[in-house]
């Protein structure tokens, strides 16, 4: 593997977006095409640049020289310089065709996940099990997983360079891709199409697990939210239901069922907050609840101007949602 990495974005989880480190058959196919095409382009560049430099040195006008012999045309040369580019284009087309077959097979009849881009976070719905989560998408390692991509508002682009091609999410027009990881691991994904103020903070994590871990995760996600473990958390839940939080968020097992913002049923088990803008820690959750706009300017969640004790109660509750 070449040691180069494009550091396009750095999340607080210290993950970097690795565009030259394929970890799935689909990403390997794209990577190999890029390398082969890059070599072909480099050779063409070297030949063309070499011939220009050679001509400049060898054929430049010298003192006492007359005009060179005038040439009107050369059929052989013209055929050769037409044929060679045609052959290169045909070869690149064949390689691209082959890569598309490997990296972008036809969609499955039923997707394993439906992922919806929102300004500025990702919703993941597993139709076969009913799991709904946000920004942290679990998949079983070692097998292709079919994704249907949708958008709730504008164009976004779903991209996990280590695992798959990129694909636009279009409102009203589902797209499909396959995603796969050769082995368990956590991979950073981003939105790669400008979609508004917080486009740059529309990160997500793909967590590839062994089939057993994945099943256990799905089972845990399907359990309703735990009851508040203490008085402060209970007051937090009451606040959550009174202060219009539930107009946007769902917490399974409570009266909150809205789907405008991320589902918070198991929020405490996620690693990132605000689609990657900060780590999911108690301190950052307090900052977020105190003023989301300070943490992520432009985020759709307004500042509710909670008092300090209200922030503590809400934090006490939401943190227990493991």
- Note the residues at the interface with ligand CUA (CB under 6 A): 117, 120, 156, 191, 193-195, 199, 202
Rg (CA), the chain: 27
Q: Smallest distance, Å, CB 117 to ligand CUA?
A: 5
Residue 176 CA to its chain's centroid (Å): 14
What lies within 8 Å, CB to CB, of 40 at 6+ separation is 88, 91, 92
In the complex with ligand CUA, the residue whose CB is nearer, 151 or 162, is 151
Q: DSSP readout, 134-174?
A: ESEEEEETTS-EEEEEEESSS-EEEE-TTTS--EEEBTTB-
Q: Smallest distance, Å, CB 318 to ligand CUA?
A: 25
CB 91 within 8 A of CB 244: no
Q: Which residue has the tokens 């990132």?
A: 272
Residue 217 CA to its chain's centroid (Å): 21
In the complex with ligand CUA, the residue whose CB is nearer, 175 or 213, is 175
Distances (CA, A) of 38 to 112, 161, 269: 34, 18, 42
Q: Smallest distance, Å, CB 43 to ligand CUA?
A: 36
Q: Smallest distance, Å, CB 193 to ligand CUA?
A: 5
In the complex with ligand CUA, the residue whose CB is nearer, 158 or 214, is 158
In the complex with ligand CUA, the residue whose CB is nearer, 31 or 120, is 120
Beta-bridged to residue 113, according to DSSP, are 147
Token pair recorded at residue 322 = 């493991």
Q: Smallest distance, Å, CB 1 to ligand CUA?
A: 28
Burial group, residue 178, by CB count within 10 angstroms (0-12, 13-18, 19+): buried
Q: Smallest distance, Å, CB 276 to ligand CUA?
A: 12
Residue 272: count other Cβ atoms within 10 Å of its Cβ: 24
In the complex with ligand CUA, the residue whose CB is nearer, 27 or 202, is 202
In the complex with ligand CUA, the residue whose CB is nearer, 13 or 166, is 166
* CA atoms of 24 and 235, how far apart (whole Å): 46
In the complex with ligand CUA, the residue whose CB is nearer, 54 or 194, is 194
Q: Smallest distance, Å, CB 191 to ligand CUA?
A: 3
Token pair recorded at residue 67 = 């005009």
């Amino acid at each position: 593997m070449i040691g180069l990495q494009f550091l396009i974005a750095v999340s607080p989880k210290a993950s970097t977006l690795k565009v030259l480190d394929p970890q799935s058959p689909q990403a390997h196919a794209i990577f190999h095409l890029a390398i082969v095409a890059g070599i072909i382009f480099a050779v063409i560049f070297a030949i063309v640049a070499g011939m220009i430099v050679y001509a400049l040195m060898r054929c430049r006008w010298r003192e006492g020289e007359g005009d060179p012999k005038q040439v009107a045309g050369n059929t052989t040369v013209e055929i050769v310089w037409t044929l060679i580019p045609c052959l290169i284009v045909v070869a690149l087309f064949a390689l691209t065709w082959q890569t598309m077959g490997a990296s972008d097979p036809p969609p499955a009849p039923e997707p394993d996940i439906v992922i919806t881009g929102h300004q500025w976070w990702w919703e993941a719905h597993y139709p076969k099990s009913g799991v709904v989560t946000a920004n942290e998408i679990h998949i079983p390692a070692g097998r292709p997983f079919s994704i249907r991509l949708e958008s709730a508002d504008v164009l976004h682009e779903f991209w996990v360079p280590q695992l798959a091609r990129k694909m636009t999410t279009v409102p009203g027009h589902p797209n499909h891709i396959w995603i796969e990881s050769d082995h368990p691991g956590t991979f950073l994904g981003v939105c790669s199409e400008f979609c508004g103020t917080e486009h740059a903070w529309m990160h997500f994590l793909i967590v590839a697990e062994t089939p057993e871990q994945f099943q256990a995760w799905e089972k845990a996600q399907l359990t309703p939210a735990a009851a508040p473990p203490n008085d402060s958390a209970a007051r937090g839940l009451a606040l959550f239901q009174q202060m219009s939080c539930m107009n946007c968020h769902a917490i399974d097992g409570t009266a909150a069922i809205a789907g405008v913002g991320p589902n918070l049923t198991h929020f405490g088990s996620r690693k990132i907050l605000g689609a990657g803008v900060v780590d999911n820690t108690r301190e950052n959750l307090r900052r977020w609840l105190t003023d989301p706009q300070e943490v992520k300017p432009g985020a759709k969640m307004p500042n509710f101007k909670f008092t300090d004790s209200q922030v503590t109660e809400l934090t006490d509750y939401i943190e227990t949602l493991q």
